[in-house]
Amino acid sequence: MNPDIILSIRNLKTRFFLDEGTAKAVDGVSFDVSRGQVVGIVGESGCGKSVTIKSILGIVQKPGEVVGGEIFYRRRDDGVQEPINLRDLDDRGEEMRDIRGNEIALIPQEPMAALSPVHTIGNQLIEAVRLHRDVSREEAANICIARMGEVGISNPEERMGVYSWELSGGLRQRVMIAMALVCGPKLLIADEPTTAIDVTTQAQVLNLLRRLQKEQNLAMIFITHDLGVIAQIADYVVVMYLGRVMEQGPVDDIFHNPQHPYTSALLASIPTIHSGTREELPTIGGSIPHPFNRPKGCPFYPRCPGFIPGKCDRFTPVPSPVSDKQSVACFLHSDAAEETE
């Protein structure tokens, strides 16, 4: 493993065993995250982007289960030591708990759901610090105040004493970012952190995240369904559809040289602020199937303009490189197929 890579996901498979059947929520996902890199995972509902990060954090809930693959992670203290496989750790064990929140931190989509309404912001932040650091309350409070200042919260000392419901949506999200950063994590995972807030506030939060990431040389996984947001923040993009990676590569290649029919169709179909008024948009036909009814073969074939009958609906393409950094899972590029089970 390249020493810059701190997280390497190989062939991750997570399934949900429900009465209606088994849903392959994440089906053979692989990607790497390097130091100081922002990896954006973009996809629509049911694509498995959220389940992927839950699998990494070991917080997949029943009836879901990680059934295959490896999650290699390089812990901070041992530079020489080989990366460990997070799947070998007990999800509720001490080591995993130490990694989660301390080394790998999460910024959730809904700060209101993640913050307790009956404790002050300060108490929750101090609690988060003292969970992973052996410091006194005063020291912890100082760390928190410093972090709150860093994320652009004015009067941090005063704000320590308020409750989450007294804050605006943008401030709450800043508090969540401060909380994620209090322990100085190595990897930050942001799960649609700007979906629930207004456009002008979203711009502020994105700027903040970009600044913090640069300053601290953080590795970050950023999840969103919004192609605009991903273009603004990611260095490297993973495009997912129905549990599989369709395409991945550097952000500029994905947006300016997309190779997978899904990526290019998706990019063409969104109206941009530069597009002309009342032009008919190119569309992707049909709608996303339910994860239980995932088509056999390539999951995108029923909606794909480049569908090859007898091939795409029978075999599942696997990612194969189109350049040294970009890879695509599509029979238009390579015949590489998954062995049938």
Binding site for other proteins (CB under 8 A): 19, 44-45, 168-171, 198-204, 206-207, 225-232, 234, 251-252, 255-256, 265-267, 269-289, 293, 302-303
- The distance of closest approach from Cβ of residue 125 to other proteins in the complex, given in angstroms and rounded to an integer, is 21
Calpha distance 178→41 (Å, rounded): 22
Calpha distance 182→142 (Å, rounded): 10
Query: Where do we find the tokens 């006194």?
Result: 136
- The distance of closest approach from Cβ of residue 120 to other proteins in the complex, given in angstroms and rounded to an integer, is 21
Residue whose CB is less far from other proteins, 68 or 302: 302
Burial 61-99 (b: 16+ CB within 10 A, else e): eeebebeebbbbbbeeeeeeeebbebbebeeeeeebbeb
Residue whose CB is less far from other proteins, 2 or 287: 287
Nearest Cα to 37, choosing from 187, 192, 226?
187
Residue whose CB is less far from other proteins, 92 or 278: 278
Query: Where do we find the tokens 């995108």?
Result: 300
- The distance of closest approach from Cβ of residue 140 to other proteins in the complex, given in angstroms and rounded to an integer, is 28
| DSSP for 76-93, written as a single string | SS-SSSPPEEGGGS-TTS
Q: Could you tell me the two tokens for 141? A: 């409070």
- Which helix (H) or strand (E) element contains residue 33? strand 21-34
Residue whose CB is less far from other proteins, 131 or 231: 231
Residue whose CB is less far from other proteins, 11 or 207: 207
Residue whose CB is less far from other proteins, 114 or 288: 288
- The distance of closest approach from Cβ of residue 291 to other proteins in the complex, given in angstroms and rounded to an integer, is 12
- What does each C-alpha distance from 24 to 5, 289, 290, 317, 338 come to in angstroms? 27, 13, 11, 16, 15
Residue 252: exposure state from Cβ atoms within 10 A (0-12, 13-18, ≥19): exposed
Residue whose CB is less far from other proteins, 10 or 225: 225
- The distance of closest approach from Cβ of residue 166 to other proteins in the complex, given in angstroms and rounded to an integer, is 12
Calpha distance 308→252 (Å, rounded): 28
Nearest Cα to 322, choosing from 310, 311, 334?
334
Residue whose CB is less far from other proteins, 79 or 276: 276
- Which helix (H) or strand (E) element contains residue 177? helix 169-181
Provide the 8-state DSSP code for 60. P
- The distance of closest approach from Cβ of residue 276 to other proteins in the complex, given in angstroms and rounded to an integer, is 8
- The distance of closest approach from Cβ of residue 231 to other proteins in the complex, given in angstroms and rounded to an integer, is 5
- The distance of closest approach from Cβ of residue 101 to other proteins in the complex, given in angstroms and rounded to an integer, is 28
Residue whose CB is less far from other proteins, 106 or 230: 230
- The distance of closest approach from Cβ of residue 299 to other proteins in the complex, given in angstroms and rounded to an integer, is 12
Interaxial angle between packed helices 169-181 and 137-150, expressed in degrees from 0 to 180 and rounded to the nearest 10: 130
